[in-house]
Structure 1
């Protein structure tokens, strides 16, 4: 399964993430209790979940109301308080990773060390509730076992009022948190991406893609933002089913013009031993009319990096082409065993049978079995094939 976080139209915030995860099935009663207990390390809060409609899209809105306020909390103090919470270690660790991202961003913006950092908006009780609540919901849905893909965040535009005065959108802390990640401005003149939401997103996402990959949508959760625009102000989190991994392959290619025949043969063997699905080597004419070979490897994604590194090591190639996620048609396969008596001795032979639409399109004995019989019986391989005629 793949989970896609889509903040392309309306940005991202902590309460939008929580709303979308509740929409996906996180228990809002348990979540409310977790958020209240977590926020209490700084101050009392009230949590309300509502189903609201944003320009035609039904979404879950998580409203966190601070019942008392504290001007700020130091980063080290916040770490100690979160570590003291009665929560699973994984939830506390991930929550602290989120706050560390925020603290590092703040330290760079203000030119201070981490132990000097104190939070304003992001260290308030509602921000603690947003971070710990989002992380709790993430683990409660077992999303830590799934691949998380983030689409580029729309950060908005214009200006925003902060504890440090009027700042341009995106605010400096948001820029630091998103450093190295794809994001875009607009589509409105308003702040769409908060430091809390960006830090949660950056911590949870395994990769950032420009587009949604080839998947099958299973369920979508919508988390509503507090503002109203001409478009639905919602964050959506899409639960998907991947295409069958057996149908997808990576094709790895490189040209070779400096290896001997023996070295190419050795290369063929070590690549197959590394788990390649198939290897082919084709004679080609390269630039300046040099004779060479085209090495083409078919590999599953899980083996790709290992095989690419192996090719670099064994060939000294300066460039390897990779065509990822190529889809292939696969016939249904079945293996059956049959016993034959040859020269007074019984041999077991495995047949690979291929089906398309329920019809048998091929039925072939495995070469290794035929080779074993030929060697053992003293018959030619051709004669063994004639005897094993099915």
Structure 2
């Protein structure tokens, strides 16, 4: 598509959380009234948002505060959240789609982390209220800025992961937490490691970015506004902020994103073959984008396996350590290649009986001509088939039929193609 297009680049190099992104969007010019009205239309007594000014690491920024209802601690499931969104008359259809997609991605990631179906995932109440306000507020702000239009371009930087550990409802977890890793893997987001202390990217922040942005460098644009949102902590060594750069760009629809990929390999001929599934799981948990093994004949004619892992430069050390820890190898080799990848997103589709639906993640990719191709996540489809007692083919057909029907007419997808 030629001509001027509204554009935004999400600068998450210091991290991103829902309140930080919302603050940045408001600071960039989104209407406070539109955000407040959208959150209040959820009709949750006591749930509200306000915005003030703060300084983080010496930089001025917008600071969003969420007021929560005082109620007993209980869990909300995805269906509860989607019901609230469906009844929110102050949320536009475009904003509602983004909010729904964000929570579906978040539930799918949490489900993978805990080994449960997305529909069974529960959001603990305090976190659920914060996430509701942040997600609905961000969706309303994006819509108010015109960034949910079909021709808008929204990109994002690598997301700062942070380091150390963080306490959550399930105990003390290493940073980045599992849900953030699964969100990054599903959407092709790049996580930047380093020595930034604490949790710099939260699951809600990562889900919002995955729902609306393509992981690519900032395109050439005429800059019209810059917004800065601050987090709850002030870290003088690195400002705890998320920035949004708004403007207009020209040119065609988003195409392939070029970047580096590290390929790590090791040849192993003395590992019990029953251990390989757990090895591959450990590599993915350490930050590998993908990994596999290939059969070879090694020294002295012994059969063995070459294990290969793909990851970012920032995660190379962690994946190397996982290879050395979980296999019997004595060394790892690696090289760096250039690669081109298509912008990817995901949406959760529910099928089956209304009283017990099954959620299946559909992964989409935007082709250089602007068409969108989609495929269901096979592991989700297999789980749904087992639960519903349906053939796998029937599940995949039902998922894609539902996904096509859920698409707004302006965003009609092209023919289905292979997973990107």
> Is TM (by shorter chain) over 0.5?
yes
Residue 106 (structure 1) aligns with? 110
- How many Å separate the matches in 1 of 2:79 and 2:47? 22
User: What CA deviation, in whole Å up to 9, does each residue of 1:156-209 have, x standing for no partner?
Assistant: 11000010000000001111111132111234120011111110111010x212
Please report how far the alpha carbon of residue 132 of structure 1 lies from its aligned counterpart in structure 2 after TM superposition: 0.5
- RMSD of equivalent CA atoms: 2.4
Counterpart of 2:209 (choices 201, 205, 208) is 201
8 Å CA contact retained: 1:154, 1:187: no
Instruction: Find the aligned partners of 1:149 and 1:305 in 2 and give their Cα distance.
Output: 15
Measured after TM superposition, the shift of residue 218 of structure 1 is: 2.4
Following the alignment from structure 1 to structure 2, what is the Cα–Cα distance between the partners of residues 217 and 92? 28
Match for 1:218 among 221, 224, 227? Answer: 224
Paired position in structure 1 for 2:53: 51
Please say if residues 122 and 195 of structure 1, whose CA atoms lie closer than 8 Å, have aligned partners that are also in contact.
Answer: no
Distance 1:245 1:76 in 2: 40
Cα distance in structure 1, aligned partners of 2:50 and 2:368 = 47
Distance 1:178 1:201, change over 3 A: same
Aligned residue for 2:347?
Answer: none
Q: Does 1:4 align with 2:9?
A: yes
Distance change >3 Å, CA 122–CA 197, structure 1 → 2: farther
Per-residue Cα deviation, 1:293-331 (whole angstroms, up to 9, x for no partner) = xxxxxxxxxxx956xxxxxxxxxxxxxxxxxxxxxxxxx
State the SS of the aligned residue for 1:143: coil
**Cα distance in structure 2, aligned partners of 1:135 and 1:122:** 20
Residue number in structure 1 paired with 2:138: 134
Q: 2:174: which partner in 1?
A: 168
Return the alpha-carbon distance in structure 1 between the equivalents of residues 36 and 138 of structure 2: 11
Aligned with 1:65 (options 57, 64, 67):
67
Q: Counterparts in 2 of 1:26-41, with a 5 A limit?
A: 26-38=30-42, 40-41=43-44
Task: For residue 45 of structure 1, report the CA deviation from its aligned partner.
Answer: 2.6
Give the Å deviation of 1:123.
5.4
CA contact (8 A) 1:121 1:163 kept: no
How far apart are 1:76 and its partner, in Å? 1.6
The runs of 5 or more residues in structure 2 that have no matched partner are 1-5, 257-366, 370-420
Which runs of 5 or more structure 1 residues have no equivalent in the other structure? 251-303, 307-390
Cα deviation digits, residues 361-390 of structure 1 (max 9, x gap) = xxxxxxxxxxxxxxxxxxxxxxxxxxxxxx
Q: 2-side partners of 1:171 and 1:220: how far apart?
A: 29
Q: How far apart are 1:122 and its partner, in Å?
A: 7.8
- Normalised to the residue count of structure 2, the TM-score between the two structures is 0.55
- Aligned equivalents of 1:185 and 1:18: distance in 2? 24
C-alpha distance after superposition, 1:6-53 (max 9, x if no partner): 001x20011111111111111113322322332x44x52342211112
Moved over 6 A (4+): none
Q: In the alignment, what sits opposite 1:75?
A: 78
Residues of 2 paired with 1:122 and 1:83: CA distance? 21
CA contact (8 A) 1:153 1:182 kept: yes
| Larger gyration radius, structure 1 or structure 2 | 1
Q: What is the SS of the residue equivalent to 1:241?
A: strand
SS at match of 1:124: helix
CA contact (8 A) 1:45 1:68 kept: no
Task: Report if the CA contact (8 A) 2:38-2:88 is conserved.
Answer: no
| Residue of structure 2 equivalent to 1:239 | 246
Q: Partner residue of 2:374?
A: none
Contact 1:5 1:150 in 2 (8 A): yes
